[in-house]
Amino acid sequence: MSETKQQRIKTNGIWLNIAEQGTGPLVLLLHGFPETWFSWRHQITHLASQGYHVVAPDLRGYGGSDSPISPSSYTCMHIVGDLIGLLDHYSEHQAFVVGTDWGAIAGWHMSLFRPDRVKGLVAFNVPYFPRSANAKPIESIRLMFGEGSYVLQFQEPGRAERAFARYDYLTVMKKFLLIKKTNNLVAPPGMEIIDYLETPSILPPWITEEELQVYADTFLESGFTGPLNYYRAMDLNWEYLAPWQGSKITVPTKFIVGDKDIGFETNGTQEYVEGDVFRGLVPNLEVVILDGHHFIHEEKAQDVSNEILSFLRKLSVD
């Protein structure tokens, strides 16, 4: 990673820390929860070596980027504004956008609000779901999964932060990044989700203790409130998205998901991504299902890099 350089860039009223490498067409890599730009370390090097200018920001609230206090500063409008500002900083009209988890959601919203700025989208794990016309997401999640859902537990300011603080940062990272649960993350009554998650005694071959420590050291500095605020802005996102009710994603898109991802088989996600509704909302869509879990861009780094590269090359030829 010696060729990867970091800098802070002013965009949309805040400073974002970004890692970048290479020259050529711009590719934005957007991480999820609880990650940083570092989660894309394999893809940054690979894509840069193939002739792309790769930029991986710490999204607002994460790592070396600014972390506004209020959850209302973490809406889809704010995140997309940050990303458009990055394109403007580099004087690029369009970029390829690659995102996982909350980074995928950012990619979907960027493609929805500003399709003119997105050359193509690669989204991991979180498909584009239609906005419910009358049900806010938090209440819907409460009805489906109950109060033990991690999303519900993340709503109350300070609650998850206090629960996480019972563990050292390296253990918190192991609990999340090495997750093997395939069902929905719902803690038993009276239990916090961080206590429900297991701490593996043996690391999988795709990540080292030193790499996990990089995450731990970063979150030791930045804390978890910024990342958790994405969840606390979910209902506000629903309100802001009303004008786009029923809108489609028109940019060319590749959706990639691990077959052992959280909730993929248990709550109808597989049927949805393989069915007609998803393709109706995202007409120019390719779906790829890989053997893997939620953090598949790290677990199957080379396979994922190849999938991204084939998509970028296809669009470059087109």
Question: What does the alpha-carbon distance between residue 300 and residue 289 come to, in Å, rounded to a whole number?
Answer: 12
Label residue 1 by pLDDT band (50, 70, 90): very low
C-beta atoms surrounding 174 within 10 Å: 23
pLDDT in tens, 248-292: 999 999 999 999 999 898 888 999 999 999 999 999 999 999 999
pLDDT in tens, 187-233: 999 999 999 999 999 999 999 999 999 999 999 999 999 999 999 99
Confidence (pLDDT) at 125: 96
Rg (CA), the chain: 18
Residue 240 and residue 60 in contact, taking contact as beta carbons nearer than 8 Å: no
Task: Tell me how far the alpha carbon of residue 272 is from its chain's centroid.
Answer: 19
Q: Which of 115, 120, 53, 107 is nearest to 80 (CA)?
A: 107
Task: From the candidates 78, 293, 294, 297, give the one annotated as an active-site residue.
Answer: 294
Bridge partners of 149? Answer: 186
Is 294 in the active site? yes
What sections of 72-208 are H helices per DSSP? 76-89, 102-113, 137-145, 150-153, 159-164, 169-177, 193-196
Query: pTM for this structure?
Result: 0.97
Is 231 in the active site? yes
Question: What does the alpha-carbon distance between residue 156 and residue 152 come to, in Å, rounded to a whole number?
Answer: 8
Is 261 in the active site? no
Crossing angle, helix 102-113 and helix 76-89, to 10 degrees? 70
pLDDT in tens, 69-126: 999 999 999 999 999 999 999 999 999 999 999 999 999 999 999 999 999 999 999 9
Give the helix/strand (H/E) hosting 309: helix 301-317
In single-letter form, the type of residue at position 34 comes to: P
| 2: pLDDT strictly greater than 80 | no
Label residue 181 by pLDDT band (50, 70, 90): confident
pLDDT in tens, 132-173: 999 999 999 999 999 999 999 999 999 999 999 999 999 999
Q: Which of 291, 234, 294 is nearest to 39 (CA)?
A: 294
Question: What percent of the chain lies above the pLDDT cut of 90?
Answer: 94
Q: Which of 47, 10, 12, 6 is nearest to 316 (CA)?
A: 47
Give the pair of three-digit tokens for residue 127: 């498909």
| 50: pLDDT strictly greater than 60 | yes
Question: What does the alpha-carbon distance between residue 47 and residue 43 come to, in Å, rounded to a whole number?
Answer: 6
Task: From the candidates 52, 231, 261, 297, give the one annotated as an active-site residue.
Answer: 231
Question: What does the alpha-carbon distance between residue 177 and residue 294 come to, in Å, rounded to a whole number?
Answer: 8
Confidence (pLDDT) at 267: 81
Question: What does the alpha-carbon distance between residue 297 and residue 238 come to, in Å, rounded to a whole number?
Answer: 28
